[in-house]
Amino acid sequence: MNKNYTLKKWPADATGVSVTAHGISICAELYGRESNGILLYGRENAEPVRIDFTEEMRSGSVYRCMLSGVPVQDHTYLFHEDGMPVTDPLAKRLVGHRLFGEEHAKAGEEDALKACAFVSGQFDWRGDKRPGTAYEDSVYYGMHVRGFTKDPSSRIKEAGTFAGVQKKIPYLKKLGVTGIVLQPVYEFEECMRQREARTVSDALQEPAGKTPLRLNYWGYLPGFYLAPKNAYAYSDDAVTELKTLVRQLHKNDLEVILQFYFEPDMPAVRMRDILVYWVKHYHIDGFELLGASLPLKEIALEPELSDAKLWSEWFPYDEIDQAKKKRVPVQSPETGRKPAGKKALIKEKRYLASASKEYQNTLRRFLKGDGGLLSAFLQCQRDNPEGYGKINFLASYDGFRLADVVSYEKKHNEANGEDNRDGENENFSWNCGMEGETKKKSILALRMKLMKNALIMLFTAQGTPFLFMGDEWGKSSGGNNNPYCQDNEITWQKWNLKKAQKELLDFTEQLIALRKAHGVMHQKGQLKFMDYLSCGCPDLSYHGQEAWRTSMDYQTRHIGVMLCGKYCVVDGKEDDCLYMAYNMHWEPHDFALPKLFKDRRWKLLLDTGEERDTEQKGNTQADAVSGEISGMPGSALSVNPVGASAPELLANPEGRTDGGTETAEDAGEKIPVSDITSQSVTLSGRSVRIYISEEVPKAAKKRRYKKRT
């Protein structure tokens, strides 16, 4: 490199090294006693050019300066402290570490991180805009970038990369999700040293020498937080590849939420700078914040993150609200009028969200039939706070997968090499009578029914649903509830699905479509249990064996839930009413369907009950709706494409709409009981039904009028 460069003091920002129109802006935290500076590397193996920073550029331990005259495309860099090379912790792109896991470990120094690359920031976003989907309209899908497409069944050459995820956007769109949540994508060292021996005998068994390496596939580790992981890129430029992925996701109205793990000792200002950088330069929609003792209040109040979605297990919501209220001026200097104040704060869009395991654990216990859970279950189903979002999930990256919740009662983490001592001991699971894999049809049918029950609960809850990759078709991790070190089929997404897996995938797709088609299932705020429209029906109501009457006794494991469509009006049109009957008891129970409004009646939409007896057609409740849409084993729910006003229901040959044989006589003609009073239906054990209101056909109205007159 020629020496025609200049270095001068410069008020650089706090986000490391940036390429600007003036040159290379540098903001570096260095601790050399004698000298600190930058090392510029040209072609490979060439000696670097050392440039020392001056005392006037220093403020405490931070140096701020501008380096001009360096062709950034031809050089990489490291900092130095007293001549010793130091990797920039705020590097925005790194050279090396192109391999992952075992391949990376075997390559050793050949695949080590070598230097930091300059990032120009030039990228054609093509008018990119963040979708800005509200929590009430969102459905999220969690994934590991490598695991999502690494399995050979993905049949793409870019397997395991950002480009691979981009190839699967059509799958995400068909599934119906509105955003993806990515496990850490920043540069981290996944091959970490094995933890120390726990006992003397363990130590004696370990070979002498270096502690063996251990894989951390998930990536919840400290790392280079501004640099995308090279091993997740198919090309040599992870920065451009990730930005291209985000741009294409946004083009398809899909949001991108990134998970970040921060250690407790990281300064709040550093966390803030990292998150702001990803919003500005990668157009990221939001973040899930992981780690202990995080400065959540400070991050939530950061002005540059005010329109980014922020998730955590818990936020100090009251403190954050109080701080926001203090920002509102007492009086406007221009008009002398007081601002809207509290009302304006309530109406503002929700960006914070709670993502705890409360929903998961409650639903799992209710699903397997534990007593005393009904009240907690109903609370979880309706929880939809005014000021922040509620992220609901049945399973995530840690703990049992959905399929394992109904297949294992104990964790099976032997493959992790820790004698099954790692991972959660309590998973609130039930194996349906046999631990692990089985070919017994009755057990497989029960497991399928329970998974469908769980998915219905998730998508009929008012909070925002979250699915982790593979749960949409029943992926199992073999009972491993802590597969943090498994870079293999235990964690990888499969794409060549079997018949039963395709069935569950179709069921999931159509549940999401059903949720999107009916705003009453995902409203903007908390339901009130009140008839505040004076229409004769509250927005939310509970029902038991008798309409409008319920029991919350310890032994009660069933409930009917009605959502009134009059409280959800879109484009001047009221939504349909929906009635969900949940029976998690192992015995059948009667449910009362309340009387609907004039000229409306109930129609059975789906039923996860036992498969009907084909020899008794017309004599079973399940026969009220064709098996094509009942949601039973071997069938799928049928609904219109997204945007439809109501599900498409197959006609009932006998004209019944009540889901059963319960009818009343009127001048010798059978009519649905729902036309005159509440009606009773019976659900088999461990099953769920959904009924939807529909208009009584004109022919039926005329017949009824003639009989009554």
- pLDDT number for residue 192: 87
Query: Do residue 297 and residue 356 come from a single domain?
Result: yes
Q: Please state, in angstroms and rounded to a whole number, the distance separating the CA atoms of residues 187 and 4.
A: 33
CATH number where 37 lies: 2.60.40.10
Residue 147 lies in a domain: yes
**Is 146 exposed, middle or buried (CB count within 10 Å of its CB: 0-12, 13-18, 19+)?**
buried
Percentage above 90 pLDDT, the chain: 79
Q: Are residues 427 and 493 in the same domain?
A: yes
**pLDDT score, position 335:** 57
Residue 30: predicted pLDDT: 97
**Same-domain status, 533 and 509:** no
Q: Is the pLDDT of residue 138 over 70?
A: yes
**125 lies in some domain:** no
> Does the pLDDT of residue 618 top 80, yes or no?
no
Q: What crossing angle do the helices spanning 268-282 and 238-251 adopt, rounded to 10°?
A: 70
Determine how β-strand 224-228 pairs with β-strand 186-187.
antiparallel
Q: What is the mean pLDDT of the chain?
A: 88
Whole-angstrom Cα distance, residue 124 to residue 678? 61
pLDDT at position 555 over 70? yes
Is 23 within the bounds of a domain?
yes
* Helices 358-367 and 441-460, packing angle to 10 deg: 140
Residue 395 lies in a domain: yes
pLDDT in tens, 172-216: 999 999 999 999 999 999 998 765 545 555 545 555 455 678 999
Q: Provide the pLDDT confidence category of residue 45 given band limits of 50, 70 and 90.
A: low
Residue 381 in any domain: the answer is yes
Decide: 106 and 58 in contact? Cβ < 8 Å.
Answer: no
Torsion of the alpha carbons at 9, 10, 16 and 19, rounded to the nearest 10: -110
Cα–Cα distances (Å) from 113 to 87, 212, 263, in that order, read: 9, 20, 22
What is the model's pTM?
A: 0.89
What is the pLDDT confidence band of residue 646, given thresholds at 50, 70 and 90?
A: very low
Rounded mean pLDDT, 377-390: 97
For the chain, how many residues are written? 709
| pLDDT band, residue 224 (cuts 50/70/90) | very high
Of 469, 495, 517, the position where a domain reaches its end is: 517
Structure tokens at 634: 């071997």
Within-domain flag for 1: no
Query: For position 684, what pLDDT does the model report?
Result: 97
Quick one: 481 and 593 in the same domain?
no
pLDDT tens sequence across 465-485: 999 999 999 999 999 999 999
Rg of the Cα atoms in the chain: 29
Nearest-angstrom CA–CA distance, 594 and 528 = 19
pLDDT above 70 (res 519)? yes
% residues pLDDT > 70 (the chain): 83
At 202 the pLDDT is 54
Which residues on adjacent β-strands are paired with residue 25? 18, 66
Mean pLDDT for the stretch of residues 254-273: 96
* 228 lies in the same domain as 271: yes
CA-wise closest residue to 453 among 390, 394, 410, 386: 394
DSSP character string of 552-583: --TT--EEEEEE-GGG-EETTEEPPPEEEEEE
Round to whole Å and give the CA distance between 34 and 37. 11
pLDDT at residue 632 above 50? no
The answer to whether residue 536 scores a pLDDT higher than 60 is yes
State whether 273 and 420 are in the same domain. yes
Q: Which residues of 552-578 are buried (b: 16+ CB within 10 A; e: fewer)?
A: eeeebbbbbbbbbbbbbeeeeebbbbb
Instruction: State the CATH number of the domain containing residue 629.
Output: 2.60.40.1180
Does 581 lie in the same domain as 472? no
pLDDT(64) > 80: yes
Is the confidence at residue 625, as pLDDT, over 60?
no
pLDDT at 670 over 90: no
Three-class DSSP category at 545:
coil
Are residue 254 and residue 356 in the same domain, yes or no?
A: yes
Q: Residue 234 above 70 pLDDT?
A: yes
- Pair (191, 308) in one structural domain: yes
Q: Residue 610: what pLDDT?
A: 63
pLDDT of residue 698: 77
- Express each pLDDT in 544-554 by its tens digit: 999 999 999 99
Give the per-residue pLDDT at 396: 96
Q: Where are the alpha helices (DSSP H) in 190-267?
A: 200-205, 238-251
**Picking from 81-95, 626-640, 669-683, which range would have the lowest pLDDT averaged per residue?**
626-640
pLDDT of residue 705: 57
pLDDT value at position 274?
Answer: 97
C-alpha 471/C-alpha 19 separation (Å) is 43
pLDDT digits (tens, 9 = 90+) for 570-584: 889 999 999 999 999
Q: Which of the listed residues 473, 489, 517 is the one where a domain comes to its end?
A: 517
Question: Based on the structure, what is the number of domains in the chain?
Answer: 3
Q: What pLDDT sits at residue 61?
A: 96
Q: Does residue 543 sit in the same domain as residue 466?
A: no
Structural tokens at position 597: 């409004």
Q: What is the pLDDT of residue 193?
A: 75
Nearest to 276 by CA among 265, 290, 288, 287: 287
Last residue of a domain, one of 472, 492, 517: 517
Where are any strands of DSSP class E within 250-365?
255-261, 286-290, 309-312, 352-354
Could you tell me if 271 and 300 are in contact, meaning their C-beta atoms sit under 8 angstroms apart?
no
Average the pLDDT over each of 154-163, 191-200, 386-395, 473-482 and give the range with the smallest value: 191-200
Task: Give CA–CA dist 518/364, Å, rounded.
Answer: 25
- pLDDT over 50 at 256, yes or no: yes
Mean pLDDT of the region 108-126: 95
> Higher confidence at residue 332 or residue 527?
527
Q: What is the CATH number of the domain that holds 493?
A: 3.20.20.80
Residue 95: the pLDDT is 97
Confidence check: pLDDT of 663 > 50: no
pLDDT at 338: 56
Is 564:527 a contact under the CB 8 Å cutoff? no
Rounded Cα–Cα distance for residues 294 and 162 (Å): 28
Q: pLDDT category, 557, cuts 50, 70, 90?
A: very high
In a domain, 132, yes or no: no
Helix ranges restricted to H, 428-495: 441-460
Contact 115, 41 (CB under 8 A): yes
* 431: its two tokens: 């194996």
Task: Assess whether 494 and 611 both reside in one domain.
Answer: no
Distance separating alpha carbons of residues 398 and 422, to the nearest angstrom: 11
| 589 and 513 share one domain | no
Domain span including residue 113: 6-117
In a domain, 370, yes or no: yes
Question: How confident is the model over 306-346, as pLDDT tens digits?
Answer: 999 999 999 999 999 999 998 866 555 555 555 555 444 44
Three-class DSSP category at 345: helix
The pLDDT value given to residue 635: 38
Instruction: Please name the residue that has the structure tokens 């990256």.
Output: 397
Confidence of residue 4 (pLDDT cuts 50, 70, 90): confident
pLDDT of residue 340: 55
What integer pLDDT is reported at residue 337 of this predicted model?
59
